[in-house]
Amino acid sequence: MPDTVLWLRRDLRLADHPALQAAAQGGRVVPLFVVDPRLWQPAGDPRRAWLVRSLRDLDERMDGALVIRSGDPVQVLAGIVRETGAASVHVTADAGPYGRERDVAVEHALDVPLVRTGTPYAVGPGTITKSDGAPYQVFTPFFRAWRDHGWPRPAGPPPSGLRWRRGVDSTGLPPEPDLAGLRLPDVGEDAALERWRAFRETALPTYDTDRNLPARNGTSRLSAHLKYGEIHPRTLLADLARHRSKGADVFRSELAWRDFYADVLWREPRSAREYLRPQYRRLAYEEPGPLFQAWCEGRTGFPFVDAGMRQLRAEGWVHNRVRMVVASFLVKDLHVEWQHGARYFLRWLRDGDLASNNHGWQWVAGSGTDAAPFFRVFNPVTQGTKFDPDGEYVRRYVPELGHLPGGSAHEPWAAPDGYAHGYPARIVDHAAERRSALERFARLPS
């Protein structure tokens, strides 16, 4: 039986891995990861560090068999096939705009088959359609169809006869960037499974309500594990079938959101960078300047916003409720186009995913999927007092507010000693900027 190549990308695990199962049908498997400058360069340090750690973990599970090479995948794959005499190259299909084109280019350059088995999603992009075959543009009908469609069972553990081919030249791991104090959680397949187990047994039953409270550990924090494919949503959905609770239902729908946004990107690749509703391009925006800088650095003077932006720089992760609030602040209060915020997020988020991140930003901007009532402008103070009533989250990330008790941390301007520790004054008047945002929308030709 001839050997095969398993070209790993966003599927850095051994369990529940259909492409690995397919590759193992041949002889020995050459597990390969290509450090592609076109993906490595634009990725921020948190994502690079996560990737390096995840590859190191995977290599250990493979007893050191993982082959790492840098360069253009077209050349690297052709070289590997030539060196090893492999009969096929196996991948998990990539749904992103760059990955799809890259895979077609690799396919054309190879004289052996490029075999795509499975996707990183429960239901592959392009699968769910309306009865007339057109794609859904609204989440809830997509969700119903997605649920009714169902998803495959987990593929199980790696096949018992699996043999890695050894001795293939490898450049070794790329250097891990210095994160300068930014803390990442444990990385890798075991860490992902453990995170899932811990979440399932503690926070899942109350996920429907607690997921909105950023001070609490109420969310799964699986996003980066899912992004790198250390765990597959199939695995999660199979386990969820044994949990009956409102929390389990809501968590399932969050996995459907991930599939939905991947589906939207697959059908409209330009939506990664451009407005899904093109008329929003003509809105009156402001060029990013000093106010944008203040937003990036978490010194807008709005505690909930600043806490979120500082959490981003401290952990490479932000609670989803707070992502919405900081995004709304940039787009609706500072009138900066969503692409600037999305790019900054992708630079610093450890889970930075093109589809989820950029469509989430478009949702906030009003230009994305969903009815998008343009008058939806988050009030950073209201959001703070509603979802962080004790001010615990704000004080955790903004030490200058540590002396303000309870919910008063959300309104330092109302406390006599609110600015005693150097917290900045508000950079804009929220009520005025809200009106300005609504006026800009009203002037938008339809």
Cβ distance to DNA smaller for residue 113 or 141: 141
Between CA 172 and CA 182 the distance in angstroms is: 24
Q: Which two tokens stand for residue 87?
A: 């009969």
Q: How far is the CB of 10 from DNA (least distance, A)?
A: 20
Cβ distance to DNA smaller for residue 21 or 379: 379
Q: If binding is defined by CB under 7 A, does position 102 make contact with DNA?
A: no
Contact 268, 362 (CB under 8 A): no
Of 138-146, 184-192, 221-229, 391-399: span binding DNA (CB under 7 A): 138-146
Cβ distance to DNA smaller for residue 155 or 377: 377
Beta bridge partners of 69: 34
Collapse the DSSP code of 240 into the 3-class scheme (helix H, G, I; strand E, B; otherwise coil) and give the result: helix
Q: If binding is defined by CB under 7 A, does position 210 make contact with DNA?
A: no
Cβ distance to DNA smaller for residue 168 or 364: 364
Q: If binding is defined by CB under 7 A, does position 133 make contact with DNA?
A: no
Q: How far is the CB of 216 from DNA (least distance, A)?
A: 15
Burial class (CB in 10 A: 0-12, 13-18, 19+), 198: middle
Between CA 423 and CA 324 the distance in angstroms is: 23
State which of residues 64, 79, 141, 406 lies at the interface with DNA (CB under 7 A).
Answer: 141
Radius of gyration of the chain (CA): 23
Of 193-201, 214-222, 239-247, 427-435: span binding DNA (CB under 7 A): 427-435
Q: If binding is defined by CB under 7 A, does position 138 make contact with DNA?
A: yes
Contact code string over 342-371 relative to DNA, x by CB under 7 A: ------------------x--x------xx
Query: In 9-132, where do the E strands start and end?
Result: 29-35, 67-70, 89-91, 114-116
Q: How far is the CB of 358 from DNA (least distance, A)?
A: 13
CA triple 332-337-339, angle to 5 deg? 130
Q: Please state whether 7 falls in left (phi above 0), alpha (psi between -120 and 50) or beta.
A: beta
CA 42 to chain centre: 15
Q: How far is the CB of 363 from DNA (least distance, A)?
A: 5
Cβ distance to DNA smaller for residue 348 or 363: 363
Between CA 231 and CA 299 the distance in angstroms is: 36
Between CA 177 and CA 180 the distance in angstroms is: 9
Collapse the DSSP code of 418 into the 3-class scheme (helix H, G, I; strand E, B; otherwise coil) and give the result: coil
Q: Which two tokens stand for residue 293?
A: 């800088």
**How many Cα neighbours within 13 Å face the side chain of 109?**
17
Cβ distance to DNA smaller for residue 52 or 327: 327
State which of residues 257, 285, 292, 419 lies at the interface with DNA (CB under 7 A).
Answer: 257
State which of residues 56, 386, 403, 440 lies at the interface with DNA (CB under 7 A).
Answer: 386
State which of residues 1, 134, 180, 241 lies at the interface with DNA (CB under 7 A).
Answer: 134
Q: How many positions of this chain bind DNA (CB under 7 A)?
A: 37
Q: How far is the CB of 388 from DNA (least distance, A)?
A: 13
Contact code string over 308-327 relative to DNA, x by CB under 7 A: ------------xx--x---
Nearest to 20 by CA among 115, 141, 129: 115
Between CA 26 and CA 3 the distance in angstroms is: 6
Cβ distance to DNA smaller for residue 279 or 293: 279
Between CA 401 and CA 399 the distance in angstroms is: 5
State which of residues 251, 280, 348, 378 lies at the interface with DNA (CB under 7 A).
Answer: 378
Tokens 């997509």 locate to 142
Q: If binding is defined by CB under 7 A, does position 434 make contact with DNA?
A: yes
State which of residues 139, 146, 228, 317 lies at the interface with DNA (CB under 7 A).
Answer: 139
Cβ distance to DNA smaller for residue 135 or 301: 135
Task: Name residues contacting DNA, limited to 11-70 (CB under 7 A).
Answer: none
According to DSSP H, which parts of 316-379 are helical? 320-328, 338-348, 354-365
Of 63-71, 80-88, 140-148, 337-345: span binding DNA (CB under 7 A): 140-148
Between CA 190 and CA 169 the distance in angstroms is: 27
Close Cβ partners of 318 (under 8 Å, ≥ 6 residues apart)? 308, 309, 311, 312, 326, 349
Q: If binding is defined by CB under 7 A, does position 180 make contact with DNA?
A: no
Cβ distance to DNA smaller for residue 21 or 311: 311
Q: If binding is defined by CB under 7 A, does position 267 make contact with DNA?
A: no
* Interface ranges with DNA (CB under 7 A): 130-131, 134-141, 143-145, 212, 254, 257, 320-321, 324, 360, 363, 370-371, 373, 375-379, 382-383, 386, 430-431, 434, 442, 446
